[in-house]
Amino acid sequence: MYPNSAKAKLQAGGTVLGTYVRHPDTGIAEILCYLGYDFLMFDGEHAPIGERECENLARVCELTGVTGIARVPSNLPWMIARTLDTGIQGIQVPMVNSAAEARAAIQAMKYAPMGTRGLAGSRAANYGQLLPFTYPEHIAKCNAETLSVIQIETPTAIDALPEIIEIPEIDVIFIGPTDLSLCLGHPGDFQHPDVQDAFRRITRIVEKSDKALGVLAATTEATLEWKDRGARYIMGVFEALMGPAIRSYLKSVREH
């Protein structure tokens, strides 16, 4: 397990900027790493990225010093463990609706005595080939360096949030704005009063804790707004930045 630069920055009170990645292509990931992001979040929930793809994407992040995080499809222990064994440095868990579900996610991410993650000489342990290698050292490093991100995406989850934030091993409470707006009956309308009220409720609870507030923000304006609201783990969508730039370029050249 390599040092987790994004987690270290968060623990020091800083803000980390990353992007959502739905493509299992290592070349795209490598370009994004060179552009200066603090982390890349590889999505296994809404994109075709599994453990094999995570393994190669983790290699890219290690070579460039960027933190690689994977969103698993579901809060299942075997799924979290297999993803971490690829060498990925953080896990983002969707649709966590109770403290019990949050504890289960953390248990799956951590080795004993902090959790129940199974131990093996996987890629995360360099296959046991970097000597001197000891399992106790590997366990300590993984438990300390793995970044844990819990997504809050439903009214039920918001109600449970005061209990969820009491779990010490959680690093980031992430607002899933799209599913939250859907659950509230206003899909995609982030400015609707009901959605904004939900955002405020989450923000007020998290700001009283030692957790970092995380959110998806697709534009520069949205990112700056969420920074002002206290978010420190901010995930963009690189296509949302790339699209307008390319369209502007094509328009300017064609009209010249």
- What are the strands, taking DSSP E only, across 140-227? 147-152, 172-175, 212-216
Query: Which among 46, 138, 186, 256 is annotated as catalytic?
Result: 46
Cβ contact 5:145 at 8 Å? no
CB crowding 20-45: b at 16 or more within 10 Å, else e: bbbbbeeebbbebbeeebbbbbbbbb
Closest residue by Cα to residue 16 from 47, 44, 39, 50: 39
Do you find a cis peptide bond into 132, omega within 30 degrees of 0?
yes
- Enter the tokens of residue 115: 């959790």
CA distance 164 to 12: 22
Whether residue 46 lies in the annotated active site: yes
Secondary structure of residue 104 in the 3-state scheme: helix
The residues with which 151 forms a beta bridge, in sequence order, are 174
Active site residues: 46
